[in-house]
Structures are given as C-alpha cells and as structure tokens.
Amino acid sequence: MSDKTISRRDFLRLGTVAAAGAALAACATPTPQVIREEVEVTRVVEKEGETVVEVVTATPPPKEPVTIVATSQMSITTWDNSVERAKERLPGINLRVTQTGMPGGWSAYADRVITQIAGGEQLDVIMIAVEGIPLLGAKKILRPLEPYIEPDAEAQEIIDDTHPLLLSMLQWEAKQLEIPFSWNNMVMYYNTKIFAEKGIDPPKEDWTWDDFLDTCLKVADVKGTADDLYAYSFWGSGMFGMCAWYFVNDTSPLTDDWKDSNMLDPKVAETLQFLADLILKYKVAPNPTGWDEWGQFHAGHLAMRTCGRWCISGSLNEGFTDYDLQYQPYKSGPFRTVAGTDGWGIATMSRYPDEAWQVVKLLSGKEASLDMVRLGGNIPTLRSVAEMPEFKEYGPPNTAIFYESLDYAKTVVSPPNFNVIEPILDRNYATIWNGEKTVEEAVQTAHEELQAEMDKLKAEG
C-alpha cells in the first residue's frame, strides 16, 4: 500500500479535473471493462491537528467468482488444460466447458445451440464453425467483437497471427463474430503400404481425375468378401465433403453470392456422375451411407479417403502410421480444396461479457492451440503454432500441406439457411449413391427444392 498526503485545496482542484474527465468519458464510445487489480480511493483523516485528504492505492476485496459456460463441438478433454490455466490466470472466473453434440453435422449443431439458448440454458462463450455464423449472426446470438479486440494488445497478437481468409469466414455483415481457433480443409489420405505393395507411385500434387481413376482401378480388389479392398471412400453427404469435390471442378451447389441454386450447372452433374461411377460403374468405392470409413482405412481395407486434419486423431489412437497426404485430384478451376474454420465468440445473452472475453482469449491462445494439435485435432489457425515442430510431429510426412493449402482454398458454402439446405442436398445425394435416381433426376429435384428455400430466404430479407 502506498500513501501520499494532499491539502484540502488540492483535493478540490483534483475533484474538478475528475468531474471533467467523467463528462468526457460519458461522451466516448464504450469499451469493454477491464478489471483492475488496484484502485485509488480517498479518505479524510486528522494528522497533527489538521484535516487532510489521503489518496490511497489499495487492492479491493475479491469479488465472488462468476461462472462462464463455454460450449464446443470438440471433446471436453481438449480443454482440460485450459480449465486449469483459467483457475490460475482468471481467479475471478469459474470456467466450465460443455460439449454440444455433432450428429447431423454443423446444421444440427447450430440448431442445438439455438435450442439451448431458447430453453434458458446459460451459454456465455460459443464455438461454432463458418457454416453456423450466418445463422447465428442473423439471429443476433453472437456479439460483434471489434469493441473488445481494438483496445486489447493480446487480442491483436492473435489477429496478426491468423490468415485473413480465416478471419473473414467468421464475419457477418462486416462484423467479426468470433476469433478463429482451428480450421480444416479436405485432402487425400492414402495408405503408403498398399501403394507400395501394388507398385503404384505416390500421387503427385497436380494429379487429375483421370490419374485418380486410373489409380483406383489398379488398387481396388472387390469381390464381395471380408477381404475386399476398396480404392476410395468419400463423404456422400455434408456440405464440407461435397464442396471439396465441387471446388476442384470449379463449381458449387449455390451461386457465388450464396443466394440461388447452382445445381443446374453442368459441372455439378459432371462431378456427381464421376462420384456415382466410382460406386455403381467401376465398383472401386462403397456406398458411403453407413460405411465405417475410419475402421476400414486403419484395417487395410481402404486405400484412400478424403478428410481434414481431425482424422489424424484416429490414426494416433490406433498407432497407425502407414499413410501420407496429398491434394485431391483436380479437374478445373483455380481452387484445390475447401476450407472452413471454427472459433470462439461471446453470446449476446451472457450476463458477464467482459469475463467471457477473457475466456475467449484464453481459449484462442497458443497453449490451447497446442493442446489440440497434440491430440491430432484440427489445423491451428495460428500460423506460429502451425510452424512449430509439434505440428509436424503429430502427423505424416506431408503434414505441411494443411496450412499451405489456404492459398488455394475456397470457403465452404454457408448461407443463413444452411441448417435447411444441407439436409435437402444430402437426401438427394443419397438417391444417386444407391441407384434410386439418375444424376439428372436427382439434380433437378435438388434444384427445385433448393431454389424454393433460397427464394424464401430472400423474401425474408
């Protein structure tokens, strides 16, 4: 504690200055409150027969800790170390992390978050991916973060260490709704042991659809037995996995502004026909519905699969190392992969937004990012973490392909009605994979349903 003594006249002068300062502050743009460890207080005391005013710097009594609830799609154990760091570094906060389930993909995840909020559950900090940002942004569920970021040097370091494309993905109406934490693309995982046994050279960075099909025909050995070897398995549903194939053929299920169906683009049908032929004509790929891609890849019954970095976690758990990575085969256009990111944001409903902001920074930092990397999780948004030895250590030889692919990536299609249109597309894709409808029939049906929903969205404004 430090003391300094001033006269009554000086005290009155300082009071006038303070009042003027308060008036200016009232006119200023409000910024997030910062909890100070020490405050200045005044007290009137008698010293040597004279009344004086003391200005004392003192530490205020501790406040009751507030509980901040953060929810994520990732396993709760991902955040164990962060919870311990919060106990040490954020003594006024009791951090609790929950997991919101992902069955049904990001569209279902977004619906669950909205349901939790509508049901009155406490949610202060929310992790969601780009697929849910327009929906949560349109419903005003997340706070714009600019007032928190701009005066905060620690936050600026995180922003400066993040690729601009990833930041832009988590914006809505030019407002930053989340701080990016992790991201993913889709690349080709291939079994190096199977390739060597078949005498097939590893795929090159610039391989084409023709090269890929030729490789599939050489690898596959499917006879309807337990020893079947499929050449390739792909996601037959979900916007992320399907966009990975659309983008390498310079097309998309929606127009570039995400306002209308693009399903009648001939390249959409060309892409779907190529994938359908892998299943129905060449029989080098299984129907993806209900097929155990993870287990079959590690068991040696699948030579290639497309996935993001999160699939490394399964290989780490299985002790599986006979694989490497390459870009997906290419057909046309400037893009080589799809990209999507998730991040941490502050819920509008939070009663403690300033404390929630401290949690957002903690969960977005390098230490939390490294925790995820070591578990084989997603690609870190922090370039500095992606350049650390640990990132390469927890993955196959060509792990660097993940971060470098950002320069050739396109954002996954994510309109505000994502939770409505993804199931429409998935349902129609399934009719192609099982042979129920031709590509032309399924595309026409999907277009009509999709356009109706896009028209409805535009009518709602």
What is the distance between the alpha carbons of residues 296 and 446, in angstroms, rounded to a whole number? 31
What percentage of the chain reaches a pLDDT higher than 90? 76
User: What would the pLDDT profile of 249-278 be if each residue is shown by its tens digit?
Assistant: 999 999 999 999 999 999 999 999 999 999
User: What would the pLDDT profile of 430-456 be if each residue is shown by its tens digit?
Assistant: 999 999 999 999 999 999 999 999 999
What is the distance between the alpha carbons of residues 106 and 14, in angstroms, rounded to a whole number? 57
pLDDT bin (cut points 50, 70, 90) of residue 170 is: very high
CB 60 within 8 A of CB 39: yes
What is the distance between the alpha carbons of residues 187 and 364, in angstroms, rounded to a whole number? 25
- Residue at token pair 């299984």: 286
What is the distance between the alpha carbons of residues 222 and 217, in angstroms, rounded to a whole number? 11
CA 251 to chain centre: 23
**Number of residues that this document lists for the chain:** 461
Give the number of other CB atoms < 10 A from CB of residue 367. 12
Token duo for residue 153: 């040097």
Pairing of strands 179-185, 337-346: antiparallel
For residue 250, which of 410, 97, 94 has the smallest C-alpha distance? 410
What percentage of the chain reaches a pLDDT higher than 70? 86
In which element (H, E) is residue 445 found? helix 439-460
C-alpha distances (whole Å) from 429 to each of 69, 272, 293 are 38, 8, 18
**DSSP helix, strand, coil percent of the chain (3-state; round to 5):** 45, 20, 35
pLDDT of res. 106 = 87
For residue 235, which of 311, 324, 300 has the smallest C-alpha distance? 311
Query: What ranges make up the beta strands (E) of 206-258?
Result: 230-233
What is the distance between the alpha carbons of residues 434 and 134, in angstroms, rounded to a whole number? 33
Rg (CA), the chain: 27
What is the distance between the alpha carbons of residues 246 and 337, in angstroms, rounded to a whole number? 9
User: What would the pLDDT profile of 301-340 be if each residue is shown by its tens digit?
Assistant: 999 999 999 999 899 989 999 999 999 999 999 998 999 9
pLDDT of res. 59 = 54
Query: What ranges make up the beta strands (E) of 288-336?
Result: 302-307, 323-326
In the chain, the amino acid numbered 71 is: T
User: What would the pLDDT profile of 356-376 be if each residue is shown by its tens digit?
Assistant: 999 999 999 999 999 999 998
Whether 72 has a pLDDT exceeding 90, the answer reads yes
In the chain, the amino acid numbered 316 is: L
